[in-house]
Chain A
Amino acid sequence: MRDPKRRLTLRLSQRTVVLSVVLVAVVAATSAIVAAASATTGSESAKVKVGLITKDATNPFFVKMHAGATRAARQLGASLTYAAGKSSSDNAGQIAAIENMTTAGVKGILITVADGKAENAAIAKARKKGVVVIALDSPTVPQSATNALFATNNFNAGVLIGKYARAATKGKKVTIGMLDEHAGSSVGALRHNGFLKGFGIKSGNSQIACVGNGEGQTAPSQTAMENCLQKNPNINVVYTINEPSAAGAWTALKNAGKTQAATTIVSVDGGCAGVRNVRAGVIDATSQQYPLLMASRGVGAVVKYAKTGIKPRGYTDTGVNLIAKKALVGVRSKTVRYGLANCWG
């Protein structure tokens, strides 16, 4: 009667011991990782604290921005705290990051807002507490919600690729597919409208066969383009919000039997993978922007504010260049070689 129970107890306790050992090991490993992260990014009280918040942590554009800010902070003797949303539309995550950084005592926050308006209330509260807020890449609506904006002129970036697409398809019958980021994306709207302006058409024009949301990522963009091709298989001009999106669109077009010669794909960003795709002929032209510059100038502005009390103001254009393999008459562009020398990611 007692023996089976004793065996049961024994078995349970062995299992308990094994499980406990595993749990302790997991906790120890996690603590070590967090402690290591804390040691490398941990702040020292004497340094100027700068916060950087991006839409997500995986897009190469933001990875480069993070790298640029880290390097600038090191050079200027500041300490950088970094946070990002879980996805490019994670407003709640960005709001919490703004609040926590403000409490952590940062002098300034550099942010690529996920939504034109959703973070404004949190930004206003941070500014009220004396934190300088600089929008990088994506403007808030209105722009005055932040102290300053350091960005590519996204509308112009769109105009450049719109003009290129127009010149590349001169005399041809055009059917356009457009892959945006997601609803509420301020930068997405600017590039989209810029493309239309450059192409010389208005929203709702009959040449636009399809407008899809690709989240600025490869897989969702492929899905969106596949669906667009179902709607209209004649699509031969494709606007994409960025180069990962263009890569996804091309996969869909290729699977549908399209050739590079018969389709014109334009994009924005100028990441190294994107420029390599221009060289390969997948993307015909892309507007290259310079995230390292946005981030390093942003960190510099916050450090200057901490030292002199002078706040950054207004809009600083960090520049944009059209990169194309084939130069076209009437459209100014830089070579692939230039693009590769100045690319990021």
Chain B
Amino acid sequence: MTAETSAQPPSARSPLDWIRRFLAAPAVGPFLALLLTMAFFSLKSDRFLQGPNLSLVLQQVMVVGVLAIGQTLVILTAGIDLSVGTVMAFGQIVMTKFAIDQGYSPLTAIALGILACVAFGVLNGALVTGVRLPAFIVTLGTLNIAFALTHIVSNDLTYPPGTSGASTLPSQLLFFGRTFTVGHTEITYGVVLMFVLFALAWFSLTQTAWGRHVYATGDNPEAARLTGIKTWRVLLSVYTVAGLMYGIAAWLLVSRTELGDPNAGQTTENLDSITAVVLGGTSLFGGRGTVIGTLIGAIIVGIFRNGLTLIGVEVIYQYLVTGVLVILAVAVDQLTHRRRL
């Protein structure tokens, strides 16, 4: 119980309390921020709210969005994953190289790429649970390992290699970049997949015993262990599922850029995925947060990049705004939850 609720009966709560409680509800704060952002840009640019533009924002968000699902799971267990971007880069190089150089069937190549990412997830999980190393250190290590492997395996070549420029990647690898039309708006299949994955993650986290165990382990691992939860198994499963997400994100990235790029995943993806999670209201201390918040967080970042370009502001201001938003999100989280401690 909180100090506030034990001190006053519910009927005596001030309007401020109600506002605070409303804001503290999962994903409400991020959702309001999203609405405000959208309202701002729709006032400044008549192109912003058009279907094709909103579809474009989602398309730009899909890779980071799927990475951020994995990141959310890890952060819910009070960990952090710095290797997301480079593990994804390794996955997409494996996919494209095997499909072209080694002559594997496209689906086998995709499966191998995803498996490579899952292997990294298992490695991260095993080191965190088995050797009890901090997630920050483990994933800092795997970030560099995956980065190196990406360049070694690709031999620093962009796939498909050669100078023809015409994409010769098999169509299966590019599937999620294809579109279907609703009204006058083209929707990318990858965006649909992202939403499906978010729905699955939401269901698993809120409606299954596994999900409850993830929250419990993140909130207080010792208490979780004493209630009979095998916390090491939960952690290992979280990192493995996260690896699976990075593998799928790799496929989405190949579909979006139509090639395997050894330089992918180095600059924006790691921090963008953490930004999305934090903007979405998930606590970096673990045990509290939702994937729906993460989805909204990822979209907010995408909307700023798109909206600022539409109104003619240089992209550098996006970073300024994102920085302020991150601090704001954590501050609001602290304000609304401090009394419960």
Q: A117 and B311 in contact (CB under 8 A), knowing A30-B324, A99-B60, A100-B306?
A: no
8 Å CB contacts to B: which residues of A129-174?
140-142, 144-145
User: By CB atoms of chain B within 10 A, which of A12, A96, A140 has the most?
Assistant: A96
Report if B258 contacts A (CB, 8 A).
Answer: yes
Partner of A118 from the list B257, B312, B315, B317 (CB cut-off 8 Å) is: B257
8 Å CB contacts to B: which residues of A26-44?
26-27, 30, 33-34, 37-38, 41-43
Closest to B53 in A: A103
Report if A97 contacts B (CB, 8 A).
Answer: yes
Partner-binding segment picked from B111-119, B126-134, B162-170: B162-170
Partner of B165 from the list A20, A93, A120 (CB cut-off 8 Å) is: A120
Chain B residues with CB under 8 Å of A30's CB are: 320-321, 324
Report if A104 contacts B (CB, 8 A).
Answer: yes
Question: A42, B269: Cβ atoms under 8 Å?
Answer: no
Report if B184 contacts A (CB, 8 A).
Answer: no
Question: B267, A184: Cβ atoms under 8 Å?
Answer: no
Taking the closest CB of chain B, its distance from the CB of A65, in whole angstroms, is: 14
Q: How far is the CA of A81 from the CA of B264 in the complex (A)?
A: 25
Chain B residues with CB under 8 Å of A118's CB are: 158, 257, 259, 261, 263-264
Taking the closest CB of chain B, its distance from the CB of A9, in whole angstroms, is: 8
Secondary structure type dominating chain B contacts: helix
8 Å CB contacts to A: which residues of B24-83?
44-45, 47, 52-53, 56, 59-60, 63
Q: A41 and B314 in contact (CB under 8 A), knowing A100-B305, A116-B158, A118-B261?
A: yes
Question: B312, A90: Cβ atoms under 8 Å?
Answer: no
Partner of A92 from the list B267, B309, B327 (CB cut-off 8 Å) is: B267
Q: How far is the CA of A81 from the CA of B306 in the complex (A)?
A: 12
Question: B331, A23: Cβ atoms under 8 Å?
Answer: yes
User: By CB atoms of chain A within 10 A, which of B45, B47, B257, B310 has the most?
Assistant: B257
8 Å CB contacts to A: which residues of B108-159?
151, 156-158
How many A residues are at the interface, by size bracket? 35 or more
Question: A5, B7: Cβ atoms under 8 Å?
Answer: yes
Closest to B307 in A: A100
Report if B281 contacts A (CB, 8 A).
Answer: no
Q: A83 and B306 in contact (CB under 8 A), knowing A34-B320, A115-B263, A120-B165?
A: no
How many B residues are at the interface, by size bracket? 35 or more
Question: B264, A38: Cβ atoms under 8 Å?
Answer: no
Q: How far is the CA of A92 from the CA of B335 in the complex (A)?
A: 35
Q: How far is the CA of A34 from the CA of B37 in the complex (A)?
A: 13
Chain A residues with CB under 8 Å of B262's CB are: 183-184
Report if B316 contacts A (CB, 8 A).
Answer: yes
Closest to A82 in B: B314
Chain B residues with CB under 8 Å of A27's CB are: 324, 328
Taking the closest CB of chain B, its distance from the CB of A181, in whole angstroms, is: 11
Report if A121 contacts B (CB, 8 A).
Answer: yes
Question: B267, A26: Cβ atoms under 8 Å?
Answer: no
Report if B313 contacts A (CB, 8 A).
Answer: yes
Taking the closest CB of chain B, its distance from the CB of A2, in whole angstroms, is: 8
Q: How far is the CA of A120 from the CA of B164 in the complex (A)?
A: 12
Question: A26, B320: Cβ atoms under 8 Å?
Answer: no
Chain A residues with CB under 8 Å of B328's CB are: 23, 26-27
Question: A5, B3: Cβ atoms under 8 Å?
Answer: yes
Chain A residues with CB under 8 Å of B47's CB are: 103-105
Closest to A38 in B: B313
Question: A81, B261: Cβ atoms under 8 Å?
Answer: no
Question: B263, A89: Cβ atoms under 8 Å?
Answer: yes
8 Å CB contacts to B: which residues of A270-296?
none
Partner of B331 from the list A19, A43, A182 (CB cut-off 8 Å) is: A19
Closest to B4 in A: A9
Q: How far is the CA of A87 from the CA of B167 in the complex (A)?
A: 25
Chain A residues with CB under 8 Å of B327's CB are: 26
Chain B residues with CB under 8 Å of A95's CB are: 256-257
Taking the closest CB of chain A, its distance from the CB of B102, in whole angstroms, is: 21
Chain A residues with CB under 8 Å of B339's CB are: 12
Report if B227 contacts A (CB, 8 A).
Answer: no
User: By CB atoms of chain A within 10 A, which of B56, B262, B267 has the most?
Assistant: B267
Taking the closest CB of chain B, its distance from the CB of A229, in whole angstroms, is: 23
Q: How far is the CA of A118 from the CA of B7 in the complex (A)?
A: 61
User: By CB atoms of chain B within 10 A, which of A37, A95, A97 has the most?
Assistant: A37
Report if A256 contacts B (CB, 8 A).
Answer: no
Chain B residues with CB under 8 Å of A183's CB are: 151, 156-157, 262-263
Identify 5 residue pairs between A and B in the complex whose beta-carbon atoms are under 8 Å apart, listed by A's number. Answer: A33-B317, A81-B312, A92-B63, A100-B309, A104-B47
Given A5-B7, A84-B316, 16 other A-B contacts at CB below 8 A? A5-B3, A30-B324, A43-B312, A57-B316, A84-B315, A86-B268, A90-B267, A92-B268, A100-B305, A105-B47, A117-B158, A117-B259, A118-B257, A118-B263, A141-B163, A184-B263
Interface residues of chain A, those whose CB is within 8 Å of chain B, are 2, 5, 8-9, 12, 16, 19-20, 23, 26-27, 30, 33-34, 37-38, 41-43, 57, 79, 81-87, 89-93, 95-97, 99-101, 103-105, 114-118, 120-122, 140-142, 144-145, 182-184
Interface residues of chain B, those whose CB is within 8 Å of chain A, are 3-4, 7, 44-45, 47, 52-53, 56, 59-60, 63, 151, 156-158, 163-165, 167, 256-259, 261-264, 266-269, 305-306, 308-317, 320-321, 324, 327-328, 331-332, 334-335, 338-339
The 9 tightest CB contacts between A and B, nearest first, are: A183-B156, A100-B309, A89-B263, A121-B258, A142-B165, A83-B315, A43-B312, A90-B267, A86-B267
